[in-house]
Amino acid sequence: MAGGITETGEPYSPFVGLVYMFNLIVGTGALTMPKAFAAAGWAVSIALISFLGFMSYMTTTFVIEAMASANAQLRWKRREQDEVADSDSTSEYSDDDIMGRGRSEPETRPILSVQRSGGHVDHFDIVERVEMGQMASMFFNKVGVNMFYICIIVYLYGDLAIYAAAVPISLMEVACGNHSCSAGSVKYNDTDPCWGPVTRKDAYRVFLSIFTVLLGPFTFFNAQKTKYLQILTSLMRWLAFTMMIILALIRIGKGTGEGHPPAASLSGAPNLFGVCVYSFMCQHSLPSLVTPISDKKHVGKLVFADYVLILGFYVLLSFTAIFCFDSSLLYDMYTLNFTDNCDVLNIPFLRYFLGLFPVFTISTNFPIIAVTLRNNWKTLFHRDGGTYPWVVDRVVFPLITLVPPIVVAFCTHNLESLVGITGAYAGTGIQYVVPACLVFFSRRHLEPVMGRDAVNKHRSPFRHSCWVWFVWLWAVSCIMFVTANIILTDTKK
């Protein structure tokens, strides 16, 4: 996320790109969605998630258009350098200009004027992976770039806090839960005993400490998810999701479902908003996802198909959950509803598998997100390629990356609230504000140099500037609405 222009990676087909994007979007947020659906009501939930899915799709097309614009600018800069080099002149332009902190002033020389004679070259082909931070450096001014990095850092902190809480919660529920077949209607409190005098809250903090000791050190090094580990975690994820949907459908089909959710409960809408925004998040990873696709001719249709499939999956998972289980008994982490209810699943091994599956998948992601956050911190303070003192680079940055989310996880393990707040604030910035700003300023930046005849073939179908203003207005309205709801809720307490 913090990087600039990088290798595109091994190319893959559009279908593989569709699968990768599906796997990227559908993650931890999906497991917190059923409880949020039950709290907001089924009618409100389906209306809100459909609209938010549409908004996320729109801003995804904004990011893809900005990626094409960034490629056009880079290609134009290089061609102009070649032209000047051929005429033995000194170029005023270099890639260093683009890599700088601020936005360079729009050029006035038409982009087509520096195209060499020969075959037609589409300047808007997405052939180089230009990460979001690099696009911000190309199209934003200094303040805008800093605001972008602050926003992505806050979002990643929320991500790490969610991961740091989710794993110990799953371990606590499996270790402390009553796994007899009569436990499905029992709702435990943090003060209930786990092992003798040790309460469930104490057990949660013990597991969190173990989690920190085992995975925290990876923050001090570089970590990446290998291909085979990614395949394994994806298979586990889809096996678990498929099992939960089928088991819930079987119970509902037998007429033994316990869920009777209301059609509408507006008090649950603000938190559902945050959960849905978090669950549709992919904009920050689009450069790594879209650039390697071998044939980008129909990338717009590919993205649309992905969003339709993901929306259908979220609705299916959440609706089967809220009609299968009593709303008051739904856990923040939906997988835990299957660990102590033999009416739904009476095979002990599979109950433990569903209960522990988030532990394996989330634990593999935590070091990757931590290293990404650490690198963003470095880039925020030092984007000119300089180096830090050893202590700052190897100790200070890893510590400021690791400590805050662990402290938050020690203070609270309310996953629904963590996901909701992360999505409602930082998620709104990354999913709405930043993409709208990127497409708006990239159009303004390239308009003087593209010429009237140059057309961005990856231009968003929402090309009118009114859509950009609508996204900004929606983002501001949502933040105000969620903030007002939090204040009013705290006042009532």
- Residue range 215-262, pLDDT digits in tens: 999 888 876 656 677 778 788 888 999 999 999 999 999 888 888 889
Query: CA nearest 438: which of 58, 8, 53?
Result: 58
pLDDT at 193 over 70: yes
- Residue range 42-88, pLDDT digits in tens: 999 999 999 999 999 999 999 999 999 999 888 888 877 776 766 65
- Residue 152 makes CB contacts below 8 A (sequence gap 6+) with 1, 2, 132, 133, 284, 376, 426, 430
How many alpha carbons lie under 13 Å from residue 1 in its C-beta half-sphere? 26
User: In this predicted structure, what is the pLDDT of residue 452?
Assistant: 56
Rg (CA), the chain: 24
Average pLDDT, the chain: 83
User: In this predicted structure, what is the pLDDT of residue 179?
Assistant: 54
State how far the Cα of 201 lies from the Cα of 176, in Å rounded to an integer.
10
- Residue range 338-393, pLDDT digits in tens: 887 777 888 888 888 888 888 888 888 888 888 888 888 888 876 565 678 889 88
- Residue range 103-114, pLDDT digits in tens: 444 444 444 444
User: In this predicted structure, what is the pLDDT of residue 438?
Assistant: 94
Phi, psi of 368 (to 5 degrees): -65, -45
pLDDT at 396 over 60: yes
pTM: 0.82
